[in-house]
Amino acid sequence: MHTTSEAVKTGTSTIGITFDGGVVVGADHRATMGHFIANKSVQKLFRIADNMALTTAGLVGHAQSLSRTLAAELRLYELKQGNLMTVKGAATLTANILVGRPHYVQLLIVGVDESGPSVFSIDSAGGSIPDAYCATGSGSPYMYGVLEDQYRDGMDEKSALQVAAKSLLASAQRDAASGNGMDLAVITAEKGFQFLSPEQVTDLLSSL
């Protein structure tokens, strides 16, 4: 993720993985300006509804603006309709926002609804693609190496968390624009959105 309008590359590592009953979502903490590490604790993983999360790669200002807009739109929908928006609906809404006003971002919309767990990758031009798992940002080639080797259909929550953590570790080792720790969260129909605490992330990494 970058901090100036001059830098438009999506330097970052974010990931979304479906498992049996939910989704694991994660992101690293590093923000860069070119080759300079501008910040080591940037938030790139946002809870935008009780059943949904957004991850961001790209310009910090655009990412933060989008996260606020989406959280507000989803809350308004919930108040008006009396139920949560579907993940596909949120992905379509996000894509439409980007078509109307392009942003230098690459996003993941992940969550759980009546159709089950979903991961949508959304590019800066408003393209929206669903998949069982996805990685974004400059660290994505290294994460896909882990994902292609270790992802399995019907994984349980523990296995999905381990694969997500291994993927983010791989990107931190090889991608200069990624690193300085990670945020991880789990979304299920039963418990909704749950961030892992720093202690839980440390315990998970020590178990790998």
Burial class (CB in 10 A: 0-12, 13-18, 19+), 75: middle
Do the domain assignments include residue 3?
Answer: no
How many independent structural domains does the chain possess?
Answer: 1
CATH of the domain at 128: 3.60.20.10
Residue 32's pLDDT band, with cuts at 50, 70 and 90, is confident
User: Residue 2: which pLDDT band, with cuts at 50, 70 and 90?
Assistant: very low
Q: Is the pLDDT of residue 55 over 90?
A: yes
Tokens for 176, please give them. 């200069």
Task: Report the distance separating Cα 26 and Cα 190, nearest Å.
Answer: 20
Domain assignment present for 98: yes
Model confidence band, residue 34 (pLDDT cutoffs 50, 70, 90)? confident
**What's residue 4's pLDDT?**
42
Could you tell me if residue 2 is inside a domain? no
Q: Is residue 20 part of a domain?
A: yes
Q: What value does the mean pLDDT take over residues 74-102?
A: 90
* Closest C-alpha to 162, from 197, 96, 199, 208: 208
Q: Which domain holds residue 100?
A: 14-207
Q: What is the pTM of this model?
A: 0.89
User: Does residue 4 belong to any structural domain of this protein?
Assistant: no
Mean pLDDT, range 67-96, rounded to an integer: 93
Residues sharing a CB contact under 8 Å with residue 202, sequence separation 6 or more, in sequence order: none
Q: Is residue 44 assigned to a domain? A: yes
Residues annotated as part of the active site: 12
Residue 119 lies in a domain: yes
Q: pLDDT tier at 100 (50, 70, 90 boundaries)?
A: low
In a domain, 116, yes or no: yes
